[in-house]
Amino acid sequence: MAEHTRAGSRSLPRLLMSPAVITLFLWMIVPLVMTLYFSVMRYNLMQPEQTGFVGFENYSYFLTDPDFWPSIWNTLILLGSVVLITVGFGLAIALLINDPFPGQGLVRILLISPFFVMPAVNALLWKHMMMNPVYGVLAQVWTFLGLKPIDWLTDYPLFSIIIMVSWQWLPFACLIFMTALQSMDREQLEAAGMDGATYFQKLWYLYLPHMARSISVVVMIEVIFLLSIFAEIYTTTSGGPGNASTNLAFLIFKQARLSFDIGVASAGALLAVILANIVAFFLIRMIGKNLD
């Protein structure tokens, strides 16, 4: 690629990259080192007189917390369910509205709107107006159908969070899939139709391979944002009841802000970094080749 670089200015690309690389590196390394330091110290805001090196005590405290493994599971279940729901329904909706029909433009606008709603509003809207067991819309629907209204956030806390987060991210998946579908090769589809291919054959052999890259993009972006879902849990269930909807991000928050234990929270944060790296490792192996 040397010939693409300006003669005598091979350092120019490096110079142009450096602001982004250096700021990001600092943004990552400074908090990381400080977190590492805090994680081996006794550092509780409620007991400022107690300080000093404690080795791995904070880690073992965090790891043996009965909420630890449930929080890992909740993180992964939340991530997996939302990705499956949004990619599945996103593909279905995108295929449904791909061909022109009356009001296509308006349907598109209605569909994508939830993506622009801030997580705090999303959570409050669902918590109060949709899922309230007495006044909520869902309770009214259940009563109308002759069923007993469900207390969503108490009885199905994690599932409720999954609904809220999916509602937000489904439009994102739809948007990307809709755009990808518009570049499908029409002639190829018609030729397949001439040859008597069924809809599902077309779906499997033509649509899905064409969509592989955009599916990878959706999964990648969603994983980045969903690993650390916070606002929805904070505003609705506060991780409860018990630990039923506590994910790793919220457990760390509980240690830092509710127990004021910065040492233990920092140990948790480093464990979260490890989890993120494990997920990233598998993710890149699974879909990395599609992202070229």
Q: How many whole angstroms separate alpha carbon 22 and alpha carbon 17? A: 8
By CB under 8 A, tell whether 20 contacts other proteins.
yes
Member of 91, 165, 249, 287 binding other proteins (CB under 8 A):
249
By CB under 8 A, tell whether 264 contacts other proteins.
no
Member of 40, 41, 189, 280 binding other proteins (CB under 8 A):
280
Among positions 29-48, residues that touch other proteins (CB under 8 A) are 30-31, 34-35, 38
77's CB contacts (< 8 A; 6+ apart) are 158, 162
By CB under 8 A, tell whether 23 contacts other proteins.
yes
Member of 124, 189, 203, 206 binding other proteins (CB under 8 A):
124
By CB under 8 A, tell whether 186 contacts other proteins.
no
Q: How many whole angstroms separate alpha carbon 153 and alpha carbon 30? A: 38
Member of 189, 202, 220, 240 binding other proteins (CB under 8 A):
220
By CB under 8 A, tell whether 110 contacts other proteins.
yes
Q: How many whole angstroms separate alpha carbon 140 and alpha carbon 156? A: 18
**With 0-12 CB in 10 A as exposed, 13-18 as middle and 19+ as buried, what is 16?**
exposed
Member of 91, 180, 219, 287 binding other proteins (CB under 8 A):
180
The secondary structure of residue 240, as a DSSP letter, is -
8 Å CB contact between 37 and 278: no
By CB under 8 A, tell whether 203 contacts other proteins.
no
**Shortest reach from residue 204's CB to other proteins, in Å:** 19
Q: How many whole angstroms separate alpha carbon 14 and alpha carbon 181? A: 37
Return the number of the residue (56 or 135) whose C-beta is nearest other proteins: 135
- CA angle, 277 as apex, 24 and 291 as ends, to 5°? 75
By CB under 8 A, tell whether 19 contacts other proteins.
yes
The residue assigned the tokens 């991780």 is: 239
Q: How many residues sit in the footprint of other proteins (CB under 8 A)?
A: 102
**Shortest reach from residue 113's CB to other proteins, in Å:** 6
Member of 72, 76, 97, 206 binding other proteins (CB under 8 A):
97
Q: How many whole angstroms separate alpha carbon 59 and alpha carbon 42? A: 11
Member of 46, 52, 53, 101 binding other proteins (CB under 8 A):
101
Q: How many whole angstroms separate alpha carbon 126 and alpha carbon 209? A: 36
Among positions 62-91, residues that touch other proteins (CB under 8 A) are none
By CB under 8 A, tell whether 191 contacts other proteins.
no
